[in-house]
Amino acid sequence: ATERTLSIIKPDAVAKNAIGEIIARFEKAGLQVVAAKMQHLSQEQAEGFYAEHKERPFFKDLVGFMTSGPVVVQVLEGDNAIAKNRELMGATNPKEAAPGTIRADFAETIDANAVHGSDSPESAQREVAYFFHADEICPR
């Protein structure tokens, strides 16, 4: 089924000038960018986005990292978009990510792991709405 998922190109990948190469992987896999913006997240924005991780030991570092530089936030649309994006990204820890995945190719550590992608239809709906108003999404 056609789905939408939220993708974030994180500060490490933006700093590496890898925005285009990462978006090219989405497009080559048949996902369409239907919304996109570059943003330097505030602490409140990052904390709210990652609220489900609030009690985890890595939360403070995660928020610090995600506010360390600009990110590119996108809505990707396509058949099976949520799982497809997660396949393209590879495992959360780049050291465990399969060869040829975005995290294997662009990231070294679990904290600075190049990309975020929604992990379920429920989180996709929440995460897309967290960053985009309905009228900022441009179906094609």
Would you count residue 116 as binding ligand CMP (CB under 6 A)?
Answer: yes
CB 34 within 8 A of CB 4: yes
Options 19, 29, 36, 110; binder of ligand CMP; rule CB under 6 A: 110
Tell me the C-alpha distance between 41 and 70, whole Å: 7
CA distance 129 to 127: 5
Residue 10 annotated as lining a ligand binding site: yes
Least Cα distance to 37 among 73, 10, 62, 70 occurs for: 73
Question: Binding residue per annotation — 113?
Answer: yes
Q: Measured between alpha carbons, how far is 131 from 73 in angstroms, rounded to an integer?
A: 8
Cβ closest to ligand CMP, residue 98 vs residue 138: 98
Question: Does the annotation flag 103 for ligand binding?
Answer: yes
Residue 111 makes contact with ligand CMP by CB under 6 A: yes
Interactions with ligand CMP, residue window 16-75 (CB under 6 A)? 53, 58, 62
Q: Could you say whether residue 92 binds ligand CMP (CB under 6 A)?
A: yes
Residues counted in the chain:
140
Give binding residues for ATP as ranges.
Answer: 10, 58, 86, 92, 103, 113
Binding site for ligand CMP (CB under 6 A): 53, 58, 62, 92, 110-111, 113, 116
